[in-house]
Amino acid sequence: MTEFASRGYAHPETLVSTEWVARHRDDPNVRIIESNEDPLVYSSGHVPGAAEVNWVRDLNDPINRDYLDRDGFTALMQRLGATADTTLVFYGDKSNWWACYAFWVFHLFGHNNSRVMDGGRLKWEFEGRELTIQEPQFTASDYRAAERDDEIIRIFRQQVMDHLLAGGRLVDVRSPAEFHGELLHMSDYPNEGAVRGGHIPTADNIPWARAVNPHDGTFKPGAELERIYRQENGLKPDDDVVVYCRIGERSSHTWFVLRYLLGFDKVRNYDGSWVEWGNLVGVPIER
């Protein structure tokens, strides 16, 4: 993990390399977790020893648009054979969109002993490392989860409105076409239900992908991230920042960048994001 200190990150300990994962994949104190957008990716081959956490099946309530509750998280951690002392390492497709999303959800329950594998699946495959279709089996743990805390790193629509009226900083991490209302969804993706296109007024458009190197999905060095977020867009580490996208997955990636790589004190993810805001009656929208 020391290799990331040289990149100028505020919290380099939150990242691990593919080499580190290869060395620790059989460590009983470590759980490697793959979380993808595409549910077929894991079964086609994954890091040996890695368990799957499916963002739909495992992290979301099947009825209400919300996350699993304390009992659900307890059951998930017990299935993973994880204890309060287990180090969780997340990785996945899409340059770690869903890995950062899962990392964020796990932090809602206070399991902060978590890391992200820099580069995700893309870098692991790019390096020609071993993949397996064998799913690991774990002895169930006696983990007991804390209540989910929605106050510190999560924000809801009325709070977003209050934040907007108070002049707080907002970062829209979607593509420029989505931001300007030309698209209601990502290119080549189905519309997920937004009736109106555009963005929340005063939001800065800083697409999530600017934070990563496209050839291997790794995070850019701290100096480059400083230039993008602070010098170009004027964000400051003591700002109260709200990030959003379409349903909270890309914005969780930017939340991770701001909070852990740049050391921002207060960053909240609006997981309702544009699917919610673009359907609300009477809220302001800009194009």
The residues annotated as belonging to the active site are 245
Q: Identify the helix (H) or strand (E) that includes residue 24.
A: helix 18-24
Alpha carbons 100 and 93: distance in angstroms, whole number: 11
Distances (CA, A) of 14 to 65, 115, 286: 29, 5, 36
What is the DSSP pairing of strand 204-205 with strand 266-269?
unpaired
Question: CB atoms < 10 A from the CB of 29, how many?
Answer: 11
Query: Which strands sit side by side in the sheet containing 30-34, from one edge to the other?
Result: 15-16, 114-117, 87-91, 30-34, 51-52
Question: CB atoms < 10 A from the CB of 41, how many?
Answer: 18
Alpha carbons 246 and 237: distance in angstroms, whole number: 24
Per the document, the length of the chain is 287
Distances (CA, A) of 5 to 58, 68, 118, 264: 33, 34, 13, 17
Alpha carbons 66 and 165: distance in angstroms, whole number: 25
Residues 6+ apart with CB under 8 A from 15: 1, 4, 9, 115, 116, 117, 118, 219
Question: CB atoms < 10 A from the CB of 98, how many?
Answer: 27
